[in-house]
Structure 1
Amino acid sequence: MSAIGDLRDAITGIVANWPIIRKFVNGGATETVVTGSGTLPVIAKVVADAQTTFEQAKTDLIAQKGSEIDEAANGVLAQTRAVAVDVQAMSDAAAESRAAAAGSAAQADGSAADALVAANASAASGRYFTSVALGLAGSADGQSFSTKSGDGQFLIVYQRQASVAVEQLRFATQGYLDTGFDFSSYSRSGYVGAIVDSLKRVALGIRASGKIDIGNVQDVGGKVALNSSIATGPSSGASSTVATPGGLARTNPRLTAEVAALQAAPANVVLVQGRASYAWPWTDANDLVCGGLDYAGNLWTKGLNVTSILTSINTIGVGTLSAAVGLTANLQTSQVYSRSGYALAFVDKNGSLAGGIASNGDLYTKGLNVTSFLANIGSNTPAIMALQRAVYSGTAITCWGDSLTAGAGGTAGGYPSALATLLNRIVSKRAVGGQSSSDIATRQGGFAALLTVQGNVIPAAGPVAVTTWTRTPITSQGPGSIHGSLYGIPGTLSATFNANGTIATYTFTRDTAGVDTQIDPATPFIVDLGNEFDITVFWYGRNNFPTGVTDLVAAANNVKDALAASIALLAAAQKKFVILGVTNSDKAVEYKGQSVYSGIVQLNSDLKALYPRNFIDIRTILVRGYDPNQPQDVIDFNNDIPPSSLRSDPTHLNDAGYAIVAKAVANLITLKGW
């Protein structure tokens, strides 16, 4: 469909759905609208539902985290008490050792080894050991013991299992915690003690009342106590409610379906409490706020109070909408306009009519019936076709290339003829055998041949000899002549050839008589185009790898440069083109692993990287089309060349081979929707 057709349909849809749009914008917090796609909530209901969901999610998350903190605290307290018993036993044993040592200092000095054994034995009685090895030695399988970590930062509880120490849990030592946290009193108002990080930010605070705040969640213990279903809440479905000082609150120790839905939001959007004035802001991966709900329940995005804007548009009157966006100074609306036929008119501050909607729904502007105009524009009118072609290319196809594009070796016109049948399109063949990629690109117009004419003058009439040229768009196999312009003068470039096929003369003949015209040496000859808006197929490069080629890098670069110039010449804003890879021949130097083979394969790889959406590796497709029941095809397959069953000679294809090429091109064009 054309762009104007899309616009026409959009306007028609707006007029037809005006009542639905009106209710969608102005409906109440409980209303819905019925559309062709089903029942949808109005904007006010979306906002109200979002507020409810966020509040429920907040309550559920707080309850869940409070339960986890409470359980973790109880566990840590129990373990700490157990360790305290062990430490006390160890302390008592050490005190007894010190008393014994004080009573007989001389004997202790003489029996240091005995004292160490006694100390270890005393520690063992409290299940604490100075090393894991001693703990294993002093324990039986199934018994637990504790020891400090090697860095002294943790007290680790192990259980001996099959003579191996298996860690059960660990506790941070006071020294370790002091490096990152401060348990002392905190100057922040209301806190008698706090855990803070190295930047003095409160992670956990204890108020004078005994209440505990964690992060942005205040009175964690109170919130947990209010949850009546901490241990038995359902994993999904409806949540229970409890009475709170502020009324009934939803509670659930596990995340309900609503919260699960929130967690399914995109990973780069995070809901975070307590950001600036937001109750629930939406932040990106860089923690930047992109919108959210404030404490008043207003929805914000990009700094705009969406709730306030929607509330202000309390009627569908375009005047109200115009006022909301600041247009009333220049444009006003009138639902009663003296000009016959207008149901709604747009007028300027002087009362002059700018446009409007007629009683039959037609849209007018500057006296033009836009609705009727769009309806009367057919998709096949010349203006629309020209616009579509300039933007998207046409549907016709032009194939540029050498003898492979010409269909040499076949009997049915080569792949362009087969392509026309497959797609039922107009397909033009611009092929000349023996031409290199540079010759083809010059003939196509991507490269310009720089010509110097005899005496640097184009005569008033008749031909003039071209004395020098930089490129050869016309070669011995064709075309006979090319039309274009030289120094802005339209004319024809033609050539004659020697017996060996080399160029004898180039001649330029102007179309119509004029005056003698002085031109510069090396003036570009600009070929006429006429197909620059077509879908274009380029099959360049086979003749850049002739027998005896040695500079494979230069050959490949010539192909890439020619293709780039030809593609740049295509005029549509959205260029549509296909590039076919270079095929190798049944020659020893082009067999797998040989020098020319490697050069061709590398060129195709480069083209695929340069034009990944447009390149077809036709060489590989043809190689894989071999017949395993034909011995020669198997040999060809092992040499990685197109098989004999698809060739008419060492280089050119037969009708079956060209049919495969046509099918590959048709598949790509169809896949792209061209």
Structure 2
Amino acid sequence: MGRKYFILVMILAVSLFSGCQRAGLKTKDIVLKNDASGSKESSSQGEIEQEKQPESGNVTEQPLSQETVPQPSAEQGQNEPLPSQGIERVVCWGDSLTFGQGGEGVTFPSVLGELLPGVPVINYGIQGETARQIAIRTGALPMTASTFMVPADCTPVQMYLWQNGEDPIMLRMGDAGINPCTIGGVQGILSYNPDEIKYYFTRTVPGEAVVVEDNTQIITYGDQDKRSSDVVVLFAGTNRAPDKNTVQELIDTEKQMLEHIGSDRYVIIGLTSKELVPDVVEINEALSQAFGEHFLDIRSYFLENGLKDAGITASDQDAADMSQGEIPSSLRVDVVHGNSVFYRLLGNQVYEKFRELGYISP
């Protein structure tokens, strides 16, 4: 009788063990399938992820004078970096054309993120900014503060910004590449109150009160985070655009940015709108001479191949646009800003320029 019970117990134990194994395999299969489908969906949409910040730079919960200022974003795919790409990170500095105005969520940095899976692509585009303002955000043109007291707590305090003796007109449309910044050794957030027409500084964590001396340089986030290994894309000059006689100012400013960032791997994107920039042809020729193989003449590409590569048949308006040297209306939402097709084509062309320059393998 005891022997029968022993055999019965052994049979039950084996059955339970096998059932657990089968259940475990099924659970694992479900997890893997969910992970795979989620990863595929993220990759196809070019998911945008926030660039990792130092712990002290996590300022989204700190009180500001008006509203919480968004952090710089990293736009990237979901796969691991491919060794053949040879790119650790891409940083794109610019204005609304880098920000992606008119693209309904599509930006050329986001397209680069899709084409370079696993490589962080940072979009430091702010609408309406001039080349000078972009250079200030990079740290190439120093921005300073007048004397003020940073309190021990995280209360916003009014202060003044200066660059070359005047208000640089910052933070009107965003803070990408500025925050979190450091002033007098204190990390915090710069903000602008348009109703009061005043700048404020809010430290990120409490500490000792600090007196900031006059003419103290503000170290922007982009300046602190720059890396000589970055591949840099500069798209500047549309706002307060130069003419053929003043284009050297734009060239000098972009060279200052590149020298300050310290990377020898870069792309300079040319200007696009003939209506907004009447001397656009001469300006792009000057940029081409100054930057050589690093220059991307995106305007000529849009005029010659944009519609074809997009699979769009030219309308009568497109034909009229191109006859006058304007990018076809089918690729634009207004005189200067592109639509989603425009930004996707632009991202593809920047990627091809990376390939041409040897930053990624053919």
Instruction: Report the TM-score, using the length of structure 2 for normalisation.
Output: 0.65
Code of the residue aligned with 1:577 in structure 2: it is Y
Alpha-carbon separation, structure 2, partners of 1:453 and 1:554: 39
SS in structure 2 of the partner of residue 524 of structure 1: strand
Q: Note the C-alpha offset of 1:520.
A: 2.9
1:580 matched to which residue of 2? 269
Alpha-carbon separation, structure 2, partners of 1:629 and 1:560: 34
Q: Note the C-alpha offset of 1:420.
A: 1.8
Code of the residue aligned with 2:288 in structure 1: it is K
Does the CA-based 8 Å contact 1:437-1:559 persist in structure 2? yes
Pick aligned residue for 2:304 from 624, 632, 640? 624
Code of the residue aligned with 1:569 in structure 2: it is H
Q: Note the C-alpha offset of 1:446.
A: 2.1
2:194 matched to which residue of 1? 497
Task: Call closer, same or farther: CA 1:468–1:673 in 2, change over 3 Å.
Answer: closer
Does the CA-based 8 Å contact 1:436-1:541 persist in structure 2? yes
1:448 counterpart = 2:164: no
SS in structure 2 of the partner of residue 493 of structure 1: strand
Code of the residue aligned with 2:157 in structure 1: it is V
Code of the residue aligned with 1:418 in structure 2: it is V
Q: Note the C-alpha offset of 1:553.
A: 5.8
Q: Note the C-alpha offset of 1:626.
A: 5.7
Map 1:476-625 onto structure 2 (within 5 A): 476-479=172-175, 482-498=179-195, 504-528=197-221, 529-532=224-227, 533-545=229-241, 552=243, 556-572=247-263, 575-585=264-274, 587=275, 590=276, 596-598=277-279, 600-625=280-305
Code of the residue aligned with 2:170 in structure 1: it is I
Does the CA-based 8 Å contact 2:244-2:282 persist in structure 1? no
Alpha-carbon separation, structure 2, partners of 1:515 and 1:468: 23
Q: Note the C-alpha offset of 1:395.
A: 2.4
Query: For each residue in 1:600-656, what CA deviation from the matched residue of structure 2 results, as whole angstroms up to 9, or x when unmatched?
Result: 322222221121121101111112136574222221111111111211222111122
Alpha-carbon separation, structure 1, partners of 2:124 and 2:143: 18
2:21 matched to which residue of 1? none
Query: For each residue in 1:150-202, what CA deviation from the matched residue of structure 2 results, as whole angstroms up to 9, or x when unmatched?
Result: xxxxxxxxxxxxxxxxxxxxxxxxxxxxxxxxxxxxxxxxxxxxxxxxxxxxx
Task: Call closer, same or farther: CA 1:506–1:554 in 2, change over 3 Å.
Answer: farther
Q: Note the C-alpha offset of 1:393.
A: 8.2
Task: Call closer, same or farther: CA 1:656–1:519 in 2, change over 3 Å.
Answer: closer
Aligned residue pairs total 263
Code of the residue aligned with 1:530 in structure 2: it is D
1:474 matched to which residue of 2? 170
Does the CA-based 8 Å contact 1:626-1:634 persist in structure 2? no
Q: Which runs of 5+ in 1 are unaligned?
A: 1-384, 546-550, 591-595
Task: Call closer, same or farther: CA 1:554–1:487 in 2, change over 3 Å.
Answer: farther
Code of the residue aligned with 2:329 in structure 1: it is S
1:346 matched to which residue of 2? none
SS in structure 1 of the partner of residue 102 of structure 2: coil
Q: Note the C-alpha offset of 1:525.
A: 0.4
SS in structure 2 of the partner of residue 605 of structure 1: helix
Q: Note the C-alpha offset of 1:667.
A: 0.8
Map 1:636-647 onto structure 2 (within 5 A): 636-647=321-332
Alpha-carbon separation, structure 2, partners of 1:416 and 1:601: 25
SS in structure 2 of the partner of residue 509 of structure 1: strand
SS in structure 2 of the partner of residue 613 of structure 1: helix
Does the CA-based 8 Å contact 1:474-1:494 persist in structure 2? no
Q: Note the C-alpha offset of 1:512.
A: 3.8
Code of the residue aligned with 1:437 in structure 2: it is A
Pick aligned residue for 1:402 from 67, 89, 95? 95
Alpha-carbon separation, structure 2, partners of 1:629 and 1:513: 60
Pick aligned residue for 2:116 from 423, 436, 442? 423
Task: Call closer, same or farther: CA 1:556–1:439 in 2, change over 3 Å.
Answer: same
Alpha-carbon separation, structure 2, partners of 1:666 and 1:581: 15
SS in structure 1 of the partner of residue 293 of structure 2: coil
Alpha-carbon separation, structure 1, partners of 2:225 and 2:169: 17
2:345 matched to which residue of 1? 660
SS in structure 2 of the partner of residue 604 of structure 1: helix
Code of the residue aligned with 2:346 in structure 1: it is V
Q: Note the C-alpha offset of 1:433.
A: 0.9
SS in structure 2 of the partner of residue 656 of structure 1: helix
Query: For each residue in 1:272-301, what CA deviation from the matched residue of structure 2 results, as whole angstroms up to 9, or x when unmatched?
Result: xxxxxxxxxxxxxxxxxxxxxxxxxxxxxx
2:59 matched to which residue of 1? none
Alpha-carbon separation, structure 2, partners of 1:394 and 1:474: 31
1:170 matched to which residue of 2? none
SS in structure 2 of the partner of residue 491 of structure 1: strand
Q: Note the C-alpha offset of 1:577.
A: 1.0
Does the CA-based 8 Å contact 1:450-1:522 persist in structure 2? yes
Map 1:160-559 onto structure 2 (within 5 A): 394-424=87-117, 425-454=119-148, 457-461=149-153, 462-470=155-163, 472=168, 474-479=170-175, 482-498=179-195, 504-528=197-221, 529-532=224-227, 533-545=229-241, 552=243, 556-559=247-250
Code of the residue aligned with 1:493 in structure 2: it is L
Q: Note the C-alpha offset of 1:558.
A: 4.2
Instruction: Kindly name which structure, 1 or 2, has the bigger radius of gyration based on alpha carbons.
Output: 1
1:672 counterpart = 2:357: yes
Does the CA-based 8 Å contact 1:623-1:641 persist in structure 2? yes
Does the CA-based 8 Å contact 1:406-1:432 persist in structure 2? yes
Percent of aligned pairs with the same amino acid: 26
Q: Note the C-alpha offset of 1:416.
A: 1.5
Alpha-carbon separation, structure 2, partners of 1:413 and 1:443: 23
Alpha-carbon separation, structure 1, partners of 2:260 and 2:86: 13
Task: Call closer, same or farther: CA 1:516–1:553 in 2, change over 3 Å.
Answer: farther
SS in structure 2 of the partner of residue 537 of structure 1: strand
Question: Which aligned runs of 4 or more in structure 1 are off by greater than 6 angstroms?
Answer: none
Does the CA-based 8 Å contact 1:440-1:473 persist in structure 2? no
SS in structure 1 of the partner of residue 141 of structure 2: coil
Task: Call closer, same or farther: CA 1:399–1:467 in 2, change over 3 Å.
Answer: closer
Q: Note the C-alpha offset of 1:495.
A: 1.4
SS in structure 2 of the partner of residue 482 of structure 1: coil
Does the CA-based 8 Å contact 2:145-2:216 persist in structure 1? yes
Does the CA-based 8 Å contact 1:442-1:473 persist in structure 2? no
Q: Note the C-alpha offset of 1:492.
A: 2.1
Higher strand share: 1
SS in structure 1 of the partner of residue 174 of structure 2: coil
Code of the residue aligned with 1:597 in structure 2: it is P
Q: Note the C-alpha offset of 1:513.
A: 3.8
2:26 matched to which residue of 1? none
Instruction: Report the TM-score, using the length of structure 1 for normalisation.
Output: 0.36
Query: For each residue in 1:330-361, what CA deviation from the matched residue of structure 2 results, as whole angstroms up to 9, or x when unmatched?
Result: xxxxxxxxxxxxxxxxxxxxxxxxxxxxxxxx
2:336 matched to which residue of 1? 651
